[in-house]
Structure 1
Amino acid sequence: MDSILKWLGGGVAAVLLGLGGAALATGAVGRSATDRSASAKVVPAAKSKAAAGPAAEAGKAPPTAAADTRFTVKRILPIDGPIKYGEWHWDDKGVPDGPLVMTVDLDARVLSVFKGGYEIGAAAVLIGTDEYPTPLGTFPILFKQRHNVSEKYDNAPMPWSMFLTRDGVAIHGGSVVENGYASHGCISGPDAFVSKIFAIAKPGDRVVITRGETIGMGDKIV
C-alpha cells in the first residue's frame, strides 16, 4: 500500500493511507461502555510469598494483606459511541484522591486516565507507525517538561511532555490529532486534554500500553 509521509510539528507524521484500517478510515476509535478497547487490561504481578514466621511454624496460615483497591476499576466514563479524532472527555468532580494510572490501547488509539480506579479522562490519540512504533509495556513517568521541543525532528513543539523512556517516547501535546496522522512513537493528544494530565501527573505514575486488551468494572488496572 503506497503512502506519503510528511513530518509536522510535535514529531507527527501526516500519512495518506488510502484504504487504511477501520479506525483511520472512519476517523474514530472503538469504545464500549464497560468492556472496551479504550482501556488496557494487564495481568497483576504475582504477590510475593510471606516469609515464614512464628505463625507459620505453629501451623497457622500467615495473615493475608488487605487488597489494594486503588488500582481496581470503580468507574468508566459514560461515553456514547466511538471517540472521534480530536475529541476528549474529562470528569474528575467528586473523585477522591488516589494514584494516577493511564492506559493506552494501540489498536483503539485511545488513552484513558484513572485516578484511584475512577476513570476521569479519555481521548483519541496519535500513536507510532510500523517504522516508528510505540512500545508496549508498563512505563513510569520519568520526568515532565512543560515547554519541550524535539531536537531530533527540527525543534518540533512537544508541549506538556511526560517522558516514558530514555530515548524520548513521551505523552505530549502540540500535534494535529486528525484522521491520517501518526507520530514517531510518542502518544500525542489534544492540547487541552494533555495539559490536564500534565497538571496532576507526577514522576512515577504508571502508563500501561497494550494492543487490543480491555478492562471493565472491578478489573485490576495494574
Structure 2
Amino acid sequence: MQRLRPIEAIRPLVPVLLIVLAGCRQASIPVDNIASPAVASTPSPAPADGRIRFGSGDRTVFTAPDGRRFQIGSLLTLPGRMSFGDSVWNDRGAGAGPIWIRIDLARQLISVFRSSDEIGTAVIVYGSDGKATPTGAFPVLGRERLHRSTLYDADMPYTLWLTRDGVAIHASTVEEGRATHGCVGLPMDFARRLFAVARRGDVAFIVPASSPGDAGRSAGHST
C-alpha cells in the first residue's frame, strides 16, 4: 500500500511591506544538535500523477495555529527516503486555489499546498543556538529575489519575508549539522520554485515540535 508522509499544520504565506532588512536572522551555521529529518519511505507503486488522493470522506484536516482548518485532498508520493538537501516539486493534477505553506520544525519538513493539494515538499534547516525560528501563522510580508545580509555577510536568494525583524524563508545550505539564525532554509531549486508561486499575503504556518490538535495526524503518509 502507499506509504504517506506525516502532515500537520499548513496554509499559505507570502508577502511584503517595507521591512528593515539588516539581513535575515539566519545565515547557515554549523550545529551538532539538529536531528535527521523524519520522513517515510518510498511508496510503491506511485500513482500516474505522482500524488495520493483522499476521498471527501477520509481527508485529513489540518488545524492551523490561528484556528483555521484545511482539508488535505492529496499528498505527493516520494521517490525514496528524503534526507538533507532533498526536495520534490510536482504540481501536476493539483487544483487551482491559494498557496499556503506548512513548516514542521519537529520533522524538518516544509510542505507547499495549492488549495488542498500538496505541490512541493523539502527537508529544511531552521534556527538554533539562541536564534529560534518563531512558530505561528505568518503572512508573507514581502519578496526579494536576492537579498544580501549585512548582519551575517551572506546571500539569501529567493527570500520570502515573514516578520519585520528579519525572519524569512530563503535558499540556504541544507546539510546535516547546520542551522540558521531564525530563518527557514531551503534547498536552492526548491526555494526558486516556491518563490515563483508564492505571493504577498499567502500564509506560512510554522508548527513547533509538538502542537495541540496534531495527535492522530502524524501518519499522513501511512500504509
Fold match (TM-score > 0.5): yes
Q: Note closer, same or farther for the CA distance 1:44–1:139 as it changes in structure 2 (3 Å cut).
A: closer
Q: Which of structures 1 and 2 has the larger relative contact order (alpha carbons within 8 angstroms, sep 6+)?
A: 2
Q: Note closer, same or farther for the CA distance 1:40–1:108 as it changes in structure 2 (3 Å cut).
A: farther
Q: Which residue of structure 2 lines up, in the alignment, with residue 11 of structure 1?
A: 27
CA distance in 1, matches of 2:40, 2:116: 18
Contact 1:73 1:216 in 2 (8 A): no
Q: Choose between structure 1 and 2: higher helix proportion.
A: 1
Instruction: Please report how far the alpha carbon of residue 45 of structure 1 lies from its aligned counterpart in structure 2 after TM superposition.
Output: 3.3
Instruction: Please report how far the alpha carbon of residue 95 of structure 1 lies from its aligned counterpart in structure 2 after TM superposition.
Output: 1.6
CA distance in 1, matches of 2:145, 2:101: 19
CA distance in 1, matches of 2:110, 2:62: 9
- Map 1:52-71 onto structure 2 (within 5 A): 71=70
- TM-score, with structure 1 as normaliser: 0.70
Instruction: Report the count of equivalent residues.
Output: 173
* 2:188 paired with 1:166: no
- TM-score, with structure 2 as normaliser: 0.69
Instruction: Please report how far the alpha carbon of residue 126 of structure 1 lies from its aligned counterpart in structure 2 after TM superposition.
Output: 0.7
Q: Note closer, same or farther for the CA distance 1:186–1:76 as it changes in structure 2 (3 Å cut).
A: same
- Which of the numbers 199, 204, 207 marks the counterpart of 2:201? 204
Q: Note closer, same or farther for the CA distance 1:108–1:209 as it changes in structure 2 (3 Å cut).
A: same
In structure 1, runs of 5+ residues without a counterpart are 1-9, 47-67
Contact 2:140 2:200 in 1 (8 A): yes
* 2:39 paired with 1:42: no
- Which of the numbers 149, 155, 158 marks the counterpart of 1:157? 155
* 2:198 paired with 1:193: no
Partner amino acid, structure 1, of 2:159: S
CA distance in 2, matches of 1:120, 1:166: 28
Partner amino acid, structure 2, of 1:138: A
CA RMSD of aligned residues (A): 2.7
Q: Which residue of structure 2 lines up, in the alignment, with residue 133 of structure 1?
A: 132
Instruction: Please report how far the alpha carbon of residue 100 of structure 1 lies from its aligned counterpart in structure 2 after TM superposition.
Output: 0.4
In structure 2, runs of 5+ residues without a counterpart are 1-25, 44-51, 53-60
| Structure having the higher Rg | 1
Partner amino acid, structure 1, of 2:165: D
Identity %: 36
Helix, strand or coil: the match of 2:106? coil
Q: Note closer, same or farther for the CA distance 1:98–1:134 as it changes in structure 2 (3 Å cut).
A: same
Q: Note closer, same or farther for the CA distance 1:122–1:164 as it changes in structure 2 (3 Å cut).
A: same
